[in-house]
Amino acid sequence: MDTANDLLTIRNLTTSFRIKETYHAAVEDISLSLKKNEVLAIVGESGCGKSTLATSIVGLYNPVNTKVSGEIFYNNQNLTQLNDEQFNSLRGNHIGFIFQDPLSALNPLMRIGEQIAEGLMYHTKLSKQQRGKRVLELLNQVGIAKPERVARQFPHQLSGGMRQRVVIAIALSCKPSILIADEPTTALDVTIQAQILDLLKALQSETETGIILITHDLGVVAEMADRVAVMYAGEVVEEAPVQELFTNAKHPYTRSLLNSIPQTHSENERLEVIQGMVPSLMNLPREGCRFSARIPWIDAAAHESKPQLHEIAPGHLVRCTCWKHFHFEGEEGGGTV
């Protein structure tokens, strides 16, 4: 793989949490890369490890019960080796982070302007006046009409959409080269979601930021992403350019997910259902194909014993070989290659 243009390269990242004295990997052996000006979407259902992946990149996990191994390269530094202090010079400065719930992501006791300026205080040499000016610039940039007024307000005085704009302004304050957005629009109404997504796109084309977009919403993926990684039970099961993924998905999990979106069905048709349940962290199948339990009608021989990601077309990776034999239940024959 060509890594020269990569902004961020993740190699064999494993993050484990300690539960009752044993470590369980929530994210296992992930290798991904992010390029400049690219939106990499990480999709999966709750418990697939996508948020753990995000917090591992910026070191926002609790070091007491978390173990991270593997490599995350940014600017020739391996982030997994950094201590908290070294991380602090990257966080907010080179890597911005947007959280899911704008309601709780802002400190209720602090004025908006103060919260945006906080990062500037530590990462830049701007004077107080210059910081104030930059805050207004940022608020303007994220489409807030009366920046002077909003800067003096408290979070509870703003609507959900406005607060998310403020959170974005915080993330962008030091012009980061990477933005990690963890479900940035899940808590918002659709019209506000559309505005926020458009805003992120517009800001990206201005600043050439690489965005890692964590989401469960395939609609948001289709609107935003350039490349998509689908996660299931702590692993990436499929990675592809966005068009390829929506038109030519291969992995049984990706296909099932796409098939369970109401939009893809004519009315009154049954939605596709994946049998069984997402296994919990402590019960993850650590050997063999992790998805096999949910497609029991597929012959065991169809799975690899140690499922690997295979590049089946340029940039299109699929884990395991079961996809070649996969058909929906009741459907005839295997998948097409």
CA 127, CA 288: separation in Å to the nearest integer? 57
Least distance (Å) from another protein to the CB of residue 99?
6
Q: How far is CA 62 from the centre of its chain?
A: 19
Least distance (Å) from another protein to the CB of residue 275?
9
CA 28, CA 192: separation in Å to the nearest integer? 35
Residues 6+ apart with CB under 8 A from 155: 106, 107, 108, 112, 163, 166
Q: Which C-beta is closer to another protein: that of 92 or that of 307?
A: 92
Q: Which C-beta is closer to another protein: that of 141 or that of 193?
A: 193
Least distance (Å) from another protein to the CB of residue 131?
13
Q: Which C-beta is closer to another protein: that of 31 or that of 66?
A: 66
Q: Which C-beta is closer to another protein: that of 18 or that of 304?
A: 18
Least distance (Å) from another protein to the CB of residue 301?
26
Q: Which C-beta is closer to another protein: that of 12 or that of 121?
A: 121
Characterize the bridge pairing of strands 39-43 and 210-215.
parallel
Least distance (Å) from another protein to the CB of residue 7?
18
The DSSP element (H or E) to which 87 belongs, if any, is: helix 84-90
Please report, as a single letter, which amino acid is at residue 58.
Answer: V
The DSSP call for residue 284 is -
Is residue 43 helix, strand or coil? strand
